[in-house]
Structures are given as structure tokens and as C-alpha cells.
Amino acid sequence: MMPTQTPYETDVIATSSGALQITFLGHGSLLFTFQGKEIYIDPFTRVADYTRLPAADVILITHEHPDHLDLAAIAAIRTPATQIVLTETCAAQLQGGIIMRNGDTYTLDGLRIEAVPAYNILRKRDNGQPFHPQGRGNGYILTFGGQRVYIAGDTENIPEMRQLQNIAIAFLPMNLPYTMTPAMVADAAKTFKPRVLYPYHYGNTNVTELVELLSAEKDIEVRIRKLA
């Protein structure tokens, strides 16, 4: 469990199988605490001292960029019992993980994990290549006591988002120029209507703009946390 006092914001979500605690570590890095297990997303040393955080039961890595696949951060929280879920490209740098590809589903110690696409369509490098090519990165949907939590990874508002169903909580990236504008995030949210939306990995993007764009969507609660 997290220490009683930490510098990180936390939210607690009720589920049918107990409380889900979400700790907002920063950037694209999250910590879910559920039924005594510590589940990390994209640990990154720039935003947290992982030597002072709980050992990981599960680590999920969305893609191979160094602010998401941070070997030092992983080493600080990994134990011999830690399970790591990652992409095929990440597995070239990090051994001993469970490889998931877009469309795969896996249940790990009772935690259902769905790997979904995460990629760019419009956002490209100077050479014309997408910042995040299709098929390389994962978003993940985790189910905690019936609550489906979508962590999108680095992506745009791709067509596959229209197929998402029953998403209770969504983390959508807004880090320009690599992922989505506030308008793209708002468009994505309107397609699958999460009950709670956290913009995350948003850098210097104006989060207030997103709140304004979704102000008429009474069924979507936008929560702003320290995830720049």
C-alpha cells in the first residue's frame, strides 16, 4: 500500500470487489492499488522516486519510447514475482514479460487485461512517419470489480475508439504534438462516453479547453489531476 502521506494525488473508486485506489504519479505514469496488489502503468523516473514506492505486482508498458519504457524505474519496483505486460517491440529491451498485441486479452491473477490499438494518424515526424505507428503500441483496458478502466497510451482519436463499450474511467493523452489536441480528446470521449475522463500525459496543453469542450456532456465527468 501507499504510505499515508505522499506528494501524489489519489482518487478512490468503488467497485463490486472493493475499492480501487488510483495514484497519479505524473506524465503517463499511474499506480492502481486493488485487492492488495500494486499495478503500475509506464513507470517513469522523471516524475517519481520509485525506490520509495511499493514493489510492483504488475507493470504494464504501452510502448517503447523511453518516457514509457524506463528500465531504471522498472528495476526499482520489480521483484522476482512481478509480472510485466508489454509490447513485442518493448520485449527487445526488457526480458521476461508477457507480450500482448492489439486485440489480445489476458487474465493475470484475476485481472482481465485487454490490449487495444494506440497510434497516430495525423501527427507525424518531419520524415512523414507517425510519432506512434499503427500496431506497435498498446492501450489497455483493465477490469477492476466490474469497472472497466481504459488507459489509452500514446494515441490519437482513432476509429477503434468507436468500438469501446462500458468504459467507466478513461485516461486519454493530450501531449502535443505527439498525441491529441483537446478537441480530439473531446471527440474521442463523445464516441464512447466514459463516466469519468482523466486527461493525462498532457504536458503544457491547456486542460481548461477540454473542460469547456465537454461542459455540455453531463454524463461525462472530467477530472483534472497532476499528470503533466
For 154-213, the pLDDT digits (tens) are 999 999 999 999 999 999 999 888 899 999 999 999 999 999 999 999 989 999 999 999
Q: What is the pLDDT of residues 108-153, one digit of tens each?
A: 989 999 999 999 897 778 787 888 898 899 999 999 999 999 999 9
pLDDT, position 57: 98
Beta bridge partners of 142: 113, 149
The CATH code of the domain that includes 206 is 3.60.15.10
pLDDT band at 1 (very low <50, low <70, confident <90, very high): very low
Supply 105's cell numbers. 486479452
Global pTM value: 0.94
- Cβ contact 227:198 at 8 Å: yes
Per the structure, the count of domains in the chain is 1
**Measured distance CA(192)–CA(55) in Å, rounded:** 34
- Quick check: is 48 in a domain? yes
- Quick check: is 227 in a domain? no
pLDDT, position 4: 43
pLDDT, position 76: 98
Residue 51 to residues 28, 44, 72, 93, 130: CA-CA distances in angstroms?
18, 12, 10, 21, 34
Residue 171 to residues 94, 126, 188: CA-CA distances in angstroms?
25, 28, 11
- Quick check: is 98 in a domain? yes
Show the domain range for 177: 9-222
Q: Residue 194: which of 177, 219, 211 has the closest Cα?
A: 219
Q: What is the pLDDT of residues 39-96, one digit of tens each?
A: 999 999 999 999 999 999 999 999 999 999 999 999 999 999 999 999 999 999 999 9
pLDDT, position 186: 97
pLDDT, position 6: 64
- Quick check: is 190 in a domain? yes
pLDDT, position 134: 87
Question: Judging by DSSP bridges, how do beta strands 98-99 and 105-108 pair with one another?
Answer: unpaired
- Quick check: is 37 in a domain? yes
Arithmetic mean of pLDDT over the chain: 94
Supply 32's cell numbers. 492502481
- Quick check: is 4 in a domain? no
Q: Is the pLDDT of residue 5 over 70?
A: no
Q: Residue 175: which of 212, 137, 209, 205 has the closest Cα?
A: 205
- Quick check: is 215 in a domain? yes
- Quick check: is 172 in a domain? yes
pLDDT, mean of residues 12-33: 97
Q: What is the pLDDT of residues 209-228, one digit of tens each?
A: 999 999 999 999 999 998 87
Any idea what DSSP says for residue 88? T
Give the burial class of 80: count Cβ atoms within 10 A of its Cβ; 0-12 exposed, 13-18 middle, 19 or more buried.
exposed
Dihedral of CA 164/167/170/174: which sign?
A: positive
